[in-house]
Amino acid sequence: MENVKGILNGKWQGRSGGKEVSSRKLLGIAGMGWMFDAMDVGMLSFIIAALSVEWGLTPGQMGWIGSINSIGMAVGALVFGLAADRIGRKNVFIITLLLFSLGSGASAFTTTLTAFLVLRFLIGMGLGGELPVASTLVSESVPVEKRGQIVVLLESFWAAGWLIAAIISYFVIPEWGWQTALLISAIPALYALYLRIGLPDSPRFAAVKDKEKLTIFQNLTKLWSKEYGRQTAMLWIVWFCVVFSYYGMFLWLPSVMVMKGFSLIKSFEYVLVMTLAQLPGYFTAAWFIEKMGRKFVLVVYLIGTAVSAYFFGTAESTALLMTSGILLSFFNLGAWGGLYAYTPEQYPTIIRGTGSGMAASFGRLGGVLGPLLVGYLVAEKVSVPVIFTIFCVSILIGALAVFLLGKETKRQELA
């Protein structure tokens, strides 16, 4: 773990836009925004459970809250991915966090489901735009031998955000309500926005920004050219499968615990314990990704996710439920780290933002379908084991796509 420790201690320097920026500062600034994004998404799963009681929502309406968030993320990933190749990674980085923080704060004052859904769409746009652009910016700003680890460590801030979300939801929502929880998530994000303004853009974008840019149509066409079509197909498949299963499972996790007979408070407590497993998932993935390669991490961690999902869905004892839930968090979030490290490495700088954004955007369609499918299946009295078996198969398809179509990019210079 020495390389990881070196990164966290800022022992090497990356040069960005003519200014020298320590890895620690770059990772911290980018990671803070990532953490606040995760806080919002993490709390949403608990807020859905609370709103179902307070507003008397049906399973279908509960599913729509998660799905409208993913529709916004799909639109945001597409729009801001294209924008990142034209106006720069840093500018998009700032715009998306501003959109997210203002939308999240405003949603605390909603009193109707319609208004809440509109704001969730805008929040989703900010989230969906920021995540692939952030990983692209960091990938382009760090040395090749540390690139995979740094991006996975960036993703580990997502686990920290989920952990904070679980703590806030457990202690704040039952006592002070979901509105207070949303305000807590929005206000600190403005501080991250302040820090981000002083961050220089990526050196690779700075090197090409004054050159002739491709049109939007040319960018999209190039993704499916003979040169890049294979990796585009692979990314779109794995992104769809991973996002479909992640949002289908994790947004419904507290509610699924309630379906299995636990109280709302007890379900929050168990999900909090499961969330703790995300951090070692990231850290082990960060170590393996430079030792064994991107494909190894993605395939192994996705298979681990699939097996854990199956046992979580079929668990009949509390011990098996908790064990499989912990392993589900461990493997799933480690796979996410590998995916964010792997995606920007598939394309040259001129289309990297577009390629990463389009893959994420297509994946977010899965994020729309996942929560809606669960809501529909629950309404139709389909059992939890059957629902989680569907997600198990989806994740295995993603692992197969990486295994058959993916190319190893460990320690390869970005084009």
Q: Is residue 411 a contact partner of residue 144, using CB atoms and an 8 Å limit?
A: yes
The pLDDT of residue 300 is above 90: yes
- For residues 164 and 166, give the distance between their C-alpha atoms in angstroms, rounded to a whole number: 5
Q: Which of 339, 412, 403, 376 is nearest to 132 (CA)?
A: 339
The pLDDT of residue 9 is above 60: no
Topology of domain 21-204+222-405 in CATH is Growth Hormone; Chain: A; (1.20.1250)
Query: Structural domain boundaries of the chain?
Result: 21-204+222-405
Q: Is residue 389 a contact partner of residue 313, using CB atoms and an 8 Å limit?
A: yes
**Number of alpha carbons in the 13 Å side-chain half-sphere of residue 304:** 21
pTM here is 0.76
pLDDT band at 129 (very low <50, low <70, confident <90, very high): confident
Arithmetic mean of pLDDT, 346-375: 85
| Tokens found for residue 164 | 């904070």
Q: What is the pLDDT of residues 79-120, one digit of tens each?
A: 898 888 888 888 888 888 888 888 888 998 998 899 999 999
| Mean of the per-residue pLDDT values of the chain | 81
